Structure 1
Amino acid sequence: MSSLNASFSLNISVVRPEYFFILGLSGIPYSNLYYIFIFIIYFITVIGNFLVILLIVLDRSLHSPKYIGVFNLALADIGETNALIPNMMKTFLFDSQYISYNACLVNMFFVFLFSSMQSLTLVVMAYDRLIAICLPLRYHVIVNNTSMISIFSAVFMFNSIIVASMVSLVTNISFCKSNVIQSYFCDHGPMFRMACNDNNINKIMGFLYTTLYLIAPMLVIFLSYLGIFLVVSKIATWERRLKALKTCVSHLLLVGIYFLPIFFTYLTSLLLFSTSNSRVISTSLAYAIPPMLNPIIYVLNTAEIKNTIRKGFKNRSLPIETVSK
């Protein structure tokens, strides 16, 4: 305890540690193999999302409202992945599980900022599909590049304010009991539970964050697709119904692989079904796998992106003389 107390500094009535110890995968069998698995996921995620961003930037035919959503989702995927996995790899490579107080708050801000961007981007993409199917004649009036850029700018500002408020409230916590975070990053929940002063405001903020970025988005997306299915059910032929629903397949897959693992992790944590180790593994997988799968889903299920890739390969395979002509 003397070494722990030595790491604390008193700031008025709030006790703040100079550093935190992130428990991570300590004590988990075969953790080295898991670190390697996570690094492979990281590599695929960064390359895949970067290629999607590059395709959208270079191909003017993809400069449309739908792909502005895909572009923002890819940016959020890269941001969240880089906020999470490099810190895990630092532990694996250098056996360093310590992080300074200020660096921990910065880490928390960026993890939750990009995670909230992923969540609300999927909501905006559901809105795009809703207007496209339910109001096809007015789609280009309601949804255009300018309106989508404005929506995503507003979403980014809103998320920044909410996440910054959540992180700023953590500075009011006195960590006089422990500086060991039972997670693999500077997670808000495990941190405010270490408080030895009143942490009710942080509990409320945690509940607000969960409501805004997990429960509310799932409800809005569900209602959006309920409206879509009601409209599609009124279409006369099965061929036209399937054609309309086919435009939603990629988005529905993205929604499923993002929300279901996170919802399952939160549910098991609330019901106390999971141990500390299982929570770390399930949470890390819930945050790491969706960003890896998102670009794969869009490449495999979107005709426009597949056509762009085919055109790129065809242009590279043409003889130099043909290209010059």
Structure 2
Amino acid sequence: MIMNLGILTIIFIEKNLHQPMYVLFCNLTISDIIGSTHILPRVLSDILLPPAERLIGYYECVVQAFITHMFGTTSHTVLMVMAFDRYVAICHPLHYSTIMTRKIIVQLIVFSWGAPFVLVVILIGLTVRLNRCRTLITNPFCDNASLFKLSCESVVINNIYGLAFTVLLFATSIGCIVLTYGKITAVCLSTKNKSLNNKAVKTCSTHLVVYLIMSLSGVAIVILHRFPQYSDYRKLSAILFVIVPGSLNPIIYGLQSRE
């Protein structure tokens, strides 16, 4: 929290950081703050209680699940728009200011939050409609899969939409990363400008490391939800998904940016 709030404060105070790259990065920081504050305090308080007293109301659980999936989805969409920003900066440096206008930046930010909001509302809405016959959440915090497992009704639609949601999100984000980085690599190979190449390697490598850490953590949770016998590993992955990316993002971006 100190690191993420510190990054936000520095970018807000320093006028020379009021650039598209840092404005877009603020959205990743805000997403990390939301992800940390809605999960970790509750988990820490539950650790101090005996299992029989670790209780949560259903609608509080729904809100937590909604924010959990918003956090996970916005992490992808924000990194996608950041990849687009790096592509424009490296591949079209002379047109950067005319392409990355204030209007475009606002549209990218709206996309980063608007698309996840619509997708997650549908995801949670399909689960809330189900009747419940169980009361045990076998997860450190509430998510969609934990919620629909409380029902004795058919959850085929929930599973289909959940998998489609996951495939769409990962396919879009991976496609965006591959496309932009492919073009950036092509530009770097075709030019002999060492300054441009060093800048590209520096900014893109950090972006890629953050993306890989976040993606691997998310994939581990999705896969392990399908194997109940590995529930302890899933719980660990769920906690790491919140802690690791949120802790590493400000360090990775903060250390590589001289500004």
TM-score (norm 1): 0.74
161-170 or 237-246, larger mean C-alpha shift: 237-246
Kept in 2: contact 1:56–1:67 (CA 8 A): yes
Q: Secondary structure at the match of 1:165?
A: helix
Q: Secondary structure at the match of 1:61?
A: helix
Over the matched positions of the two proteins, sequence identity in percent amounts to 29
115-124 or 235-244, larger mean C-alpha shift: 235-244
**How much does 1:269 deviate?**
4.7
Tell me: CA distance 1:239–1:147, structure 2 relative to 1, closer, same or farther (3 Å).
closer
Q: Where do 5+ consecutive residues of structure 2 fail to align?
A: none
233-242 or 92-101, larger mean C-alpha shift: 233-242
Structure 2 counterpart of 1:254, from 194, 199, 210 = 210
Aligned length: 257
Check if 1:124 corresponds to 2:81.
Answer: yes
Tell me: CA distance 1:210–1:168, structure 2 relative to 1, closer, same or farther (3 Å).
same
Check if 1:288 corresponds to 2:239.
Answer: no
**How much does 1:238 deviate?**
4.8
What residue number does 1:84 align with?
A: 39
What residue number does 1:57 align with?
A: 12
TM-score (norm 2): 0.91
Q: Where do 5+ consecutive residues of structure 1 fail to align?
A: 1-45, 305-325
Alpha-carbon deviations, 1:35-58, whole Å to 9, x = none?
A: xxxxxxxxxxx1110000000100
**How much does 1:175 deviate?**
2.0
Higher Cα radius of gyration = 1
Q: Secondary structure at the match of 2:139?
A: coil
Amino acid at match of 1:233: L
What residue number does 1:142 align with?
A: 99
Amino acid at match of 1:208: A
**How much does 1:203 deviate?**
1.1
Structure 2 counterpart of 1:151, from 83, 98, 108 = 108
Structure 2 counterpart of 1:193, from 137, 149, 167 = 149
**How much does 1:239 deviate?**
5.3
Quote the Cα distance in structure 2 between the aligned partners of 1:195 and 1:276. Answer: 19
What residue number does 1:39 align with?
A: none
Quote the Cα distance in structure 1 between the aligned partners of 2:149 and 2:131. Answer: 11
RMSD between superposed Cα atoms in Å: 1.9
Amino acid at match of 2:87: L
Structure 2 counterpart of 1:73, from 28, 33, 43 = 28
